[in-house]
Chain A
């Protein structure tokens, strides 16, 4: 019950209309970005807690993390992960590039008319 309340209401808008300082579209993206920046800091703090606990328990020393050198295979796996990651994050630029190279790309709305015509 409380969790439902939190999901429904934690991001509620305060009474009073919101000022925008930039184009609302730009500020919207900034707002989402800053929330993401915050969550990255949260993850970083959690990781830091984990590393310190592991060190305190004698499992992994922080210096081992600093000096860690991946094997060739590990480096390749990590490199692939990085490539996959960037592809995913920068999806929109790849699609813009493909669009520039495409001629006569139709919108679905146009095709909708076309395929609905009796003589199609």
Chain B
């Protein structure tokens, strides 16, 4: 309660539809401290992202329909044959250029703002994480694990240091930056703890498979565990493994889980393409959430094969991702969705979204008749957060509405 009178229909809050103030963000034991102005910076960035997607981006379509598209057809005497031709034609258009330059600038500003917060207290955060993870078996690191080329070649979503680099031994500033900034990037659309994807998966499983009682769950590319914690909480009797290649994310994630009182998750450093430490049939649920698009062609195939192997009979695999570029998706939309691939350092994004994932699943051993396809939207506290399910707008690859592709073994 903030002291305002309890008149639901009284003030501006009633008709307000923008991102919530950053101060509603969920804080846990290792969440970085944020000053007034650091919060204001995130507030600005959340609004800037919204302005870009709702006020500026729609006119990129106008520029395509009235200018860049006709110019292409005049020049080439034909329609563009794929999304790459559309994107390259758009690159010549001044409006696309302006939108792109602003979107890139906003992403860089978001990284800068979060890094400032995390780095200025890096030693304190590292000590806190250490204190929460020293004892117990909830964190298992493997310093010898090679970092895949597709992780180290370019820093995903322009996040300096990516998921694996440390500024000093034990540094978790990269994870603290990621954690604190997601809220600004998504305008709160993923909820207080940026875990709306995980809650959506739980809701889907409860509704679709009401009798499913998983005992062992593996989340590949779990990052700092934001979306696996809701799963662990929903199935408290299950033992959950949060697997990732990035040690700083895992350290921070283990401390975060501990401080949130989630005890049934173990954060393990490992590569999803080699799950040899686990015997055949070790898990009854394998999950990836927004991870497939940050892999490579060889690793996605290896991960699918390993997933099939470690699943028990009757076990499920669920991959949550942005929708694939189906043949009926307009080339303009595909080109817009490709923006992050080329201009926000997501190099596998474009290829991943055109893959025949069904075919890959079948190749990995799954039965085509037992494949799963569905859609989910972020599950958030609607009193405070915008609900992606009610949102008619499109943010080409950034909306909190995803596809589920999976299988029952």
Contacts and interface: CB of A to CB of B under 8 A. Distances in A.
A in complex with B: yes
A108 B127 CA distance: 55
A63 interface: no
B160 A30 contact: no
Contacts of A5: 119-120, 122, 167, 173
A14 interface: yes
B40 A46 contact: yes
A10 B116 contact: yes
A15 B119 contact: no
Of B40, B115, B122, most A-chain CB atoms within 10 Å: B40
A34 B44 CA distance: 11
Interface in B311-363: 342-343, 345
Contacts of B162: 14-15
B132 to A, nearest CB: 19
A6 B108 CA distance: 15
A55 interface: no
Interface in A1-41: 1-3, 5-6, 9-16, 18-22, 27, 30-31, 34-35, 38, 41
B116 A6 contact: yes
B37 A14 contact: no
Nearest to B99: A21
Contacts of B36: 45-46, 49
B233 interface: no
A99 interface: no
Given A15-B154, A34-B106, A6 B40 contact: no
A15 B153 contact: yes
Contacts of A35: 105, 109, 112
A14 B109 contact: no
Contacts of B96: 21
A31 B160 contact: no
Contacts of A16: 153-155, 158, 345
A22 B43 CA distance: 27
B192 interface: no
Interface string A77-109: 000000000000000000000000000000000
Contacts of B111: 14
B120 A30 contact: no
Contact of A9 (B48, B109, B115, B123): B115
Contact of B122 (A2, A13, A15): A2
A34 B102 contact: yes
Contact of B41 (A14, A20, A21, A38): A38
Contacts, number: 103
Contacts of A21: 91, 96-98, 100-101, 104
B121 interface: yes
B108 A31 contact: yes
A9 B153 contact: no
Contacts of B101: 20-22, 27, 30-31
A1 to B, nearest CB: 6
B159 interface: yes
A11 B40 contact: no
Nearest to B3: A56
A41 B116 contact: no
Contact of A10 (B44, B112, B153, B342): B112
B124 interface: yes
Interface in B171-197: 173
A42 interface: yes
B45 interface: yes
B345 A14 contact: yes
B119 A10 contact: yes
Contacts of B280: none
A30 B102 contact: yes
A14 B151 CA distance: 12
Contact of A11 (B106, B112, B167, B345): B112
A99 B158 CA distance: 42
A14 B158 contact: yes
Nearest to B119: A6
Contacts of A22: 97-98, 101
A49 B36 CA distance: 9
B154 A41 contact: no
Given A6-B115, A12-B115, A42-B37, 4 more contacts: A5-B122, A9-B115, A31-B105, A46-B40
Which 5 residue pairs across A and B have the least CB separation, nearest first?
A: A16-B154, A14-B155, A6-B119, A45-B40, A6-B120
